[in-house]
Amino acid sequence: MSSLVGPDEDDPRGKPPVPEHVQDAIRTLIEWAGDDPTREGLLDTPARVARAWKEYCLGYGEDPSVHLSRIFEEVGGYDELVLLRDIPFQSHCEHHMAPIIGKAAIAYMPTDRVVGISKLARVLHGFARRLQVQERLTAEVAKCIWDHLKPQGVAVVIEAAHSCMTARGVRTPGVSMVTSKLYGCFLDDERSREEVLKLMGY
């Protein structure tokens, strides 16, 4: 029957090795939670968890601003709002290391240069794949675009559910938190701000 079983994506063979002390830390946590890390179903869990955490935290190995280094200056006179909305992302809160799952809307008002639209999502993911608080994530994404694209304005709105609040503590599923960071014309000019928030759906 085993020939009917397809390749196991969690098969540790061919995966990067996980140092023993890292696996030990996860065994300690399993024990602390109340289970037996030596039972069969949990034997490979420490290595899997360790590799998963490397993936959740890929952002530590990158500088998100590199995604804004390839700019297009031929914008054909376009100097209106550029908006990417409903960008899904995942992060982890630095207080509980619990998932933060949400979506972001990122807008900027170009001066003389634009970037490929997917780059805005890459900047978001570069900062989200770290241990975060939502307020800082929002501010880091906005500042990165403000500093590197030098637009007339930047607006970032993030809406997310925090598992540390929905799955533990006050246990309030369905509750989401909204944070925003504005720069330039979106901060200074009320009409620009109203326009961008309306287009974002707020």
Interface contacts to Zn ion, rule CB under 5 A: 93, 95-96, 164
Please identify which of the residues 20, 31, 90, 95 carries the catalytic annotation: 95
Catalytic residue status for 57 = no
| Residue with token string 């949990």 | 42
CB 65 within 8 A of CB 123: yes
Query: Known catalytic residue: 93?
Result: yes
Instruction: Give the active site residue among 93, 148, 152, 195.
Output: 93
Active site includes 134? Answer: yes
159, 162, 185, 195: the catalytic one is 162
Query: Least separation, in Å, of the C-beta of 99 and Zn ion?
Result: 9
* Closest CB 98 distance from Zn ion, rounded Å: 5
Report phi then psi at 9, rounded to 5: -70, -15
Is 92 flagged in the annotation as binding? Answer: no
CB atoms within 10 A of CB 39: 10
Please confirm, yes or no, whether 21 is among the known catalytic residues.
no
User: Within 7-149, where are the H helices?
Assistant: 20-33, 45-56, 118-128, 134-149
Mark whether 96 is an active-site residue: yes
Among the listed residues 23, 132, 134, 152, the single catalytic one is 134
Please give the distance of CA 72 from its chain centroid, rounded to a whole number. 25
Q: Which residues contact 11 (CB under 8 A, 6 or more apart)?
A: none
Least separation in angstroms between residue 139's CB and Zn ion is: 18
Name residue 36's amino acid.
D
93 assigned to a ligand binding site: yes
> In whole angstroms, how close is the CB of 162 to Zn ion at the nearest point?
6
- CB nearer to Zn ion: pick between 23 and 179: 179
Q: Note if 92 is an active site residue.
A: no
Is 164 known as a binding-site position? yes
With 0-12 CB in 10 A as exposed, 13-18 as middle and 19+ as buried, what is 108? Answer: buried
Q: Active-site residue numbers? A: 93-96, 134, 162, 164
Binding site per annotation, positions for Zn(2+): 93, 96, 164
Binding site per annotation, positions: 93, 96, 164
